[in-house]
Chains A and B, each alone.
Chain A
């Protein structure tokens, strides 16, 4: 069965520290990849996505992610985090096949940024 693994469940950083959240998936075919964020008390919203083209994608609020096909990875990065980045981060993968629209989600990484 397809799965998405987020390696870090809880991350605590100080402001200005660099961030990298790991995401690996188990499907061998063509995929669409997503990172969503859930700020405290808010709904999930899209940070960035990869469908095709440049494997380094940039999203909102200074986030970026790199798709490395050989490693089945889509790690999220930010060079300098802010207190407002405190949130839950979810990686999700969609098998790019026909009319499939089903996302497989990681369990999420809780990020706390200390001011």
Chain B
């Protein structure tokens, strides 16, 4: 199993540019999560999907952030326009929920630097 695959691993961009982060979850998983990690705030849940449907997007900071999951094998997180305070590591995670497990499988993360 290839695990959760994220791209790009590193992105450096200038303020105002559009950033698109991509995620391929583990095949067969029914939940997909987008997290942001910073030193100051730790891990923050941005949004999560169940069977491609957004369930909770209360963690999305503002309208500049949007996420989509057009099918079971692909999701994007878009920031437009980007700002320096968006600099962070963005993690995607997927899981297959059962009565006895809810383990999240994380990708390697996308480190975003906005100058």
A residues apposed to B, CB below 8 Å: 32, 34, 36, 42-46, 49, 51-52, 90, 94, 99, 101-103, 105-108
Q: A37 → chain B, closest Cβ, in Å?
A: 11
CB-CB under 8 A for A46 and B42, given A99-B50, A99-B55, A102-B56: no
Interface magnitude class on chain B: 20 to 34
User: Which residues on the A side are within 8 Å of B104 (C-beta)?
Assistant: 36, 44, 46, 103
Number of A-B contacts (CB under 8 A): 51
B residues apposed to A, CB below 8 Å: 4, 31, 33, 42-45, 48, 50, 55-56, 91, 93, 95, 97, 99-104, 106-109
Query: Is the pair B109, A103 in contact by a Cβ cutoff of 8 Å?
Result: no
User: Which residues on the A side are within 8 Å of B103 (C-beta)?
Assistant: 34, 46, 49
Query: Is the pair B91, A101 in contact by a Cβ cutoff of 8 Å?
Result: no
Query: Is the pair A43, B109 in contact by a Cβ cutoff of 8 Å?
Result: yes
Of A36, A49, A103, the contact of B45 (CB 8 Å cutoff): A103
Q: A31 → chain B, closest Cβ, in Å?
A: 12
Of B48, B91, B102, the contact of A44 (CB 8 Å cutoff): B91
Query: Is the pair B42, A101 in contact by a Cβ cutoff of 8 Å?
Result: no
User: Which residues on the B side are within 8 Å of A32 (C-beta)?
Assistant: 102
CB-nearest residue of chain B to A32: B102
Q: B88 → chain A, closest Cβ, in Å?
A: 14
User: Which residues on the A side are within 8 Å of B100 (C-beta)?
Assistant: 51-52
Query: Is the pair A43, B45 in contact by a Cβ cutoff of 8 Å?
Result: no
